[in-house]
């Protein structure tokens, strides 16, 4: 049996608990339509001041004037910070301008009518300077066609691939090429437009017949479709952002540093300089990444971008080996297309795949790509760990005795 006093006690406890709950959820009561506006940062102090007001008007006035002075001071400091930020910004802009090497050429012009305004796609060419390397200048006058030349950078390690490269270049009827072991911008200083080529590229047509020549740099793509080759809006979602769930980021770079045409302009020469400098200073840097960064990144605090104009080559005409072996090989329509050049950049067994490309496109052996691919994939898988030796995540070599390939062909 419960006594009346215990019931009263229980009632009080329940009352207090319910009261606390309501006080927590409805701090301003049931009938207060909205909490008082909290816009003023000193809202809390105002309440404090109100409740003390009748006790000590003087104290209240003191507090009020103190708060007023504080907020005035605060506003003044904020103004100073804003002014300093503006000054900093102007200083950075001026620094950028000071480092700008381009001299504005010609008189300012009026803009064309709306809808017809076109900016220039490339900078003015620089003047050639033959004194940089008179011997090379002499060779170039003989080799180049229309001041243009393909330059392949090679060394003794890639001898068999270089032989293959030369055979293909000659077969494609390209007269203006040069094999060199140096990699600086002397060509540009001498006044030649250079198509820089890796040695793992099979030429099927003359690339100079298919260039646009409207940009400082015209580059082969590592991408494999419109999106990855020509850029796209990369949209990602972050659930905790609620209403602003989606992040839009433009992805533009998939340029190949293994095959690009470079015009005789200051930005193009600077690109060469920058990439060469960075690769010297950061020996472990990946040349593809460095090339893409220098070519694509805009200026940001602490960095001045290059602003070379760029064109991506048609990825079916200037094709990488991923497109060839992943897409073209399986598509009967695309198989009819004849590329200008094929870059075996996605596969380690370069020489054999170069041969397969020649077999398919030059000698029309319909199954060359398929057969070669399936053989190579098997070998790739088998030897993947054995023959791959890496200095770091980007610099790997594949050491496999050539005999092994033949062995596998006969198995």
- Of residues 89 and 226, the one with the C-beta less far from ligand NAG: 226
Looking up tokens 């300093």 gives 84
Rounded Cα distance between 255 and 244, Å, is: 32
Total residues interacting with ligand NAG, rule: CB under 6 A = 3
Map residue 368 onto helix, strand or coil: helix
Rounded Cα distance between 69 and 75, Å, is: 10
Strand partners, 202: 342
The CB-of-53 to ligand NAG minimum distance in angstroms stands at: 6
- Of residues 57 and 374, the one with the C-beta less far from ligand NAG: 57
The CB-of-222 to ligand NAG minimum distance in angstroms stands at: 17
In this structure, the strands spanning 255-262 and 217-221 are antiparallel
- Of residues 214 and 367, the one with the C-beta less far from ligand NAG: 214
The CB-of-229 to ligand NAG minimum distance in angstroms stands at: 9
Supply the DSSP string of 105-152, one letter for each residue: PS---PPPPTT-----SSPPBPPP-GGG-HHHHHHHHHH-BTTEEEEE
The CB-of-66 to ligand NAG minimum distance in angstroms stands at: 21
3-state secondary structure 242-299: HHHCEEEEEECCCEEEEEEEECCEHHHHHHHHHHHHHHHHCCCCCHHHHHHHHHHCCC
The CB-of-54 to ligand NAG minimum distance in angstroms stands at: 4
- Of residues 215 and 265, the one with the C-beta less far from ligand NAG: 215
The CB-of-218 to ligand NAG minimum distance in angstroms stands at: 17
- Of residues 153 and 334, the one with the C-beta less far from ligand NAG: 334
The CB-of-52 to ligand NAG minimum distance in angstroms stands at: 8
By rule CB under 6 A, what string of x and - marks binding of each residue 381-400 to ligand NAG? --------------------
The CB-of-30 to ligand NAG minimum distance in angstroms stands at: 22
The CB-of-334 to ligand NAG minimum distance in angstroms stands at: 11
- Of residues 49 and 178, the one with the C-beta less far from ligand NAG: 49
**Residue 331: half-sphere exposure toward Cβ, Cα within 13 Å:** 12
Rounded Cα distance between 377 and 147, Å, is: 42
Q: Write out the binding residues for ligand NAG, residues 44-83 only, by CB under 6 A.
A: 51, 54
> Structure tokens of 62?
């003191």
- Of residues 232 and 371, the one with the C-beta less far from ligand NAG: 232
The CB-of-64 to ligand NAG minimum distance in angstroms stands at: 16
> Structure tokens of 324?
């060839």
The CB-of-60 to ligand NAG minimum distance in angstroms stands at: 11
- Of residues 274 and 326, the one with the C-beta less far from ligand NAG: 326
Residue 183's nearest CA partner among 208, 204, 163, 154 is 154
Interacting residues of 132 by C-beta distance below 8 A, sequence separation 6+ = 186, 189, 190
Q: Write out the binding residues for ligand NAG, residues 211-270 only, by CB under 6 A.
A: 226
Rounded Cα distance between 144 and 187, Å, is: 11
- Of residues 36 and 134, the one with the C-beta less far from ligand NAG: 36
- Of residues 224 and 347, the one with the C-beta less far from ligand NAG: 224
Rounded Cα distance between 197 and 275, Å, is: 16
> Structure tokens of 375?
């053989």
Residue 249 φ then ψ, to 5°: -135, 130
- Of residues 51 and 397, the one with the C-beta less far from ligand NAG: 51
**Residue 281: half-sphere exposure toward Cβ, Cα within 13 Å:** 7
Rounded Cα distance between 259 and 214, Å, is: 17
Judged by the rule CB under 6 A, the positions of this chain that interact with ligand NAG are 51, 54, 226
């Amino acid at each position: 049996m419960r006594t009346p006093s215990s019931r009263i006690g229980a009632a009080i406890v329940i009352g207090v608990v319910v009261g606390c709950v309501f006080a927590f959820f409805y701090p301003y009561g049931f009938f207060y339509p909205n909490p008082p506006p909290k816009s003023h940062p000193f809202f809390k102090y105002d309440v404090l001041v109100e409740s003390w007001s009748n006790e000590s008007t003087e104290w209240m006035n003191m507090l009020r004037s103190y708060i007023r002075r504080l907020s005035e001071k605060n506003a003044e400091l904020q103004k100073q910070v804003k002014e300093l930020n503006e000054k900093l910004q102007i200083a950075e802009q001026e620094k950028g301008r000071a480092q700008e090497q381009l001299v504005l050429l010609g008189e300012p012009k009026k803009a064309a009518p709306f809808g017809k305004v076109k900016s220039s796609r490339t900078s003015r060419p620089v003047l050639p300077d033959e004194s940089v390397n008179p011997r090379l200048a002499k060779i170039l006058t003989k080799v180049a066609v229309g001041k243009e030349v393909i330059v392949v950078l090679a060394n003794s390690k890639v001898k068999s691939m270089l032989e293959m490269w030369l055979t293909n270049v000659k077969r494609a009827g390209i007269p203006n090429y040069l094999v060199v072991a140096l990699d600086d911008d002397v060509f540009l200083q001498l006044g030649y437009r250079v198509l820089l080529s890796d040695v793992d590229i099979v030429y099927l047509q003359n690339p100079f017949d298919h260039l646009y020549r409207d940009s400082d740099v015209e580059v082969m793509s590592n991408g494999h479709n419109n999106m990855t080759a020509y850029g796209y809006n990369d949209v990602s979602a972050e659930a905790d952002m609620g209403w602003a769930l989606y992040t839009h980021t433009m992805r533009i770079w998939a340029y190949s540093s293994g095959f690009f045409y470079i015009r005789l302009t200051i930005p193009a020469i600077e690109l060469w300089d920058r990439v060469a400098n960075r690769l010297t200073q950061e020996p472990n840097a990946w040349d593809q990444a460095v090339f893409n960064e220098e070519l694509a990144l805009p200026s940001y605090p602490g960095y001045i971008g290059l602003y070379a104009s760029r064109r991506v080559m048609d990825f079916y005409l200037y094709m990488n080996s991923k497109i060839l072996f992943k897409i073209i090989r399986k598509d009967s329509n695309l198989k009819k297309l004849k590329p200008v050049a094929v870059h075996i950049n996605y596969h380690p067994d370069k020489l054999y795949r170069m041969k397969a490309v020649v077999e398919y496109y030059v000698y029309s052996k319909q199954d060359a790509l398929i057969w070669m691919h399936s053989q190579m994939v098997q070998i790739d898988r088998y030897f993947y760990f054995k023959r791959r030796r890496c200095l770091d995540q980007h610099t790997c070599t594949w050491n496999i005795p050539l005999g092994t390939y033949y062995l596998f062909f006969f198995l």
